[in-house]
Amino acid sequence: MYKASEARYQDMPYRRCGRSGLLLPAISLGLWHNFGHIDIYDDFKNIIYRAFDRGITHFDLANNYGPPAGSAEENFGRIFKQDLKAYRDEMIISTKAGYYMWPGPYGEWGSRKYLIASLDQSLKRMGLDYVDIFYSHRPDPNTPLEETMMALDHVVRQGKALYVGISSYSPDQTREAARILRELGTPCLIHQPRYSMFDRWVEDGLLDTIEKDGIGSIVFSPLAQGLLTNKYIKGIPEGSRAAKAHGFLQKDQITESVIKKVVALNDIAKNRNQSLAQMAIVWLLKDERITSVLVGSSSVQQLDQNIDSLRNLNFEHSELKSIEDILNF
């Protein structure tokens, strides 16, 4: 029988989510990979336990996480029912809808029909009465933004979600979504964009937009699908994401130029007594507009290493300049 560590809140810093009353841990656990039915149940159960023991209160899911789609929510729900239910009021559980889930015209994107039906399915899979945050997972080019935002407002008024957010919306889309939600009386709590040293599109207006509108942010893919680790310095290891034909990281992305940058960044990390992955995580957290960084994990050891990055959050000016010089080379 799992019993949470009494020391779970001693070391994790918590950051205010925009101008809301909600605090999120500096590092949150994402269940995108490694928590589906194809994975080993006891392994990811222990990862979730360890995360909570170390102060990670926020568990980030989506309807399509697995594989197969839906299985991450099912597995999380099973763990929650067995051992975490007593800690529900200490947890932030989020899910999303936007990508393909079932056949026919109502199984993806941003219609009211899809979003509300999907959240009902997610709650059933996880055995929850409500989620803390419900996201529109991606903007829908064919559904009026007002309809999507009204659906988010509706699930809050139903009591099925406490807060709502958006993911991967452009600065202009974010600005308009925030305006609509504000007028409806359900402010946009949070934006979840992709962001890393190698993928900095959010710096082109999005971070300024969320700051102005009082929206928090939680960033995913902080390690650029594994590029910002030591894994690829000496080539593409067997079993890595880049070695898989249908993975999100492709071999052609691991160029000679990228490897040179990774090697140089790794040298800076060593001088900070961090791994490259640890430095990449805290490099994101140097910006106060970033509420939390989403990390995935395939083992308890990897999770611990990611959390241990928080032991050195500060950068010297010379370090930041060297990092910029490397990234702009």
Output the pLDDT for position 243. 44
Write the pLDDT tens digit of every residue in 82-91: 999 999 999 9
d(CA 233, CA 259): 6
Interval 56-72 mean pLDDT: 98
Mean pLDDT of 143-158: 99
Confirm if 312 and 284 have CB atoms less than 8 A apart.
Answer: no
pLDDT band of residue 245 (cuts 50, 70, 90) is very low
Q: What share of the chain in percent tops pLDDT 70?
A: 94
Rounded CA-CA distance 217/138 in Å is 15
- Name the average pLDDT for the chain: 95
Cis peptide before 193 (omega within 30 of 0): no
What are the domain boundaries of the chain? 14-224+276-313
Q: Per-residue pLDDT tens for 266-317?
A: 999 999 999 999 999 999 999 999 999 999 999 999 999 999 999 999 999 9
The token duo for 11 is 């070391």
Q: CA-CA-CA-CA torsion for 118, 124, 129, 134, nearest 10 degrees?
A: -30
- Burial class of residue 155 (count of CB atoms within 10 Å of its CB; 0-12, 13-18, 19+): buried
Judge whether residue 249 has pLDDT over 80. Answer: no
Strands 23-25 and 131-136: unpaired
- What is the pTM assigned to this prediction? 0.94
E-assigned strands of the chain?
14-16, 23-25, 27-30, 58-60, 92-97, 131-136, 161-167, 188-192, 216-219, 292-295
Q: Are 59 and 94 in contact (CB under 8 A)?
A: yes
What is the C-alpha separation between 274 and 24, in angstroms, rounded? 24
Q: Which CATH code of 3.90.950.10, 3.40.718.10, 3.20.20.100, 3.40.50.300 fits the domain covering 14-224+276-313?
A: 3.20.20.100
Q: State the virtual CA torsion across 9, 295, 285, 201 in degrees, nearest 10.
A: -160
